[in-house]
Amino acid sequence: MKRVAVYCGSATPADPTYIDMAKSVGRGLAERGIGVVYGGGRLGLMGAVADAALEAGGEVIGIIPQALVDAEVAHRGLTELHVVPGMHQRKQAFTDLSDGFVTIAGGTGTMDELWEALSWAQLGYHADPVGLLNTGGYYDELVAFWEKMGRVGFLRPQHRDLLIVDTTLDGLLDKMAAHRPTQPIVRMNASDL
């Protein structure tokens, strides 16, 4: 993987372990020579990932909607900053510029990005690995829900491995590097659906 999209929160939680984890992710990606594509903000976990990657000599590409530039939250010290009209174009740019997706702690926007990356992989709009860094058990319930979708039958057996989970960045990146695309829905027969 040359670049990964990093999905994370723009908030700064009171618990400093979240910012520390974000810095570790940015630094870890840069040390592996993996560029960061992210939401282009300077605040919260987003800013921490970007700053740490830049400090470690990494490439950081921000994709930010004009409305957030107008709100003065754009990070102006990136390798590249792309300003787009809205969120749909932002998520398309994440997919176009990345070879994989890493989700770390975040809120609603982070979940939107993660689920879209998974949905697009399931449909066949991309074949890149989708990783979830479950540091400190932050995503335990989400992982349990993913597994429940499979047990109930809303997640096809061939798509259950689309969500790649680990508790460490190194472990997650190793699993993502070993990822093999599954059969997407667009290549399935109607009788298989």
In this predicted structure, what is the pLDDT of residue 158?
86
In this predicted structure, what is the pLDDT of residue 182?
81
Three-state SS annotation for the chain: CCEEEEECCCCCCCCCHHHHHHHHHHHHHHHCCCEEEECCECCHHHHHHHHHHHHCCCCEEEEEEHHHHHCCCECCCCCEEEEECCHHHHHHHHHHHCCCEEECCCCHHHHHHHHHHHHHHHHCCCCCCEEEECHHHCCHHHHHHHHHHHHHCCCCHHHCCCEEEECCHHHHHHHHHCCCCCCCHHHCCHHHC
Domain 3-192 has CATH 3.40.50.450: yes
Q: Which residues of the chain have pLDDT under 50?
A: none
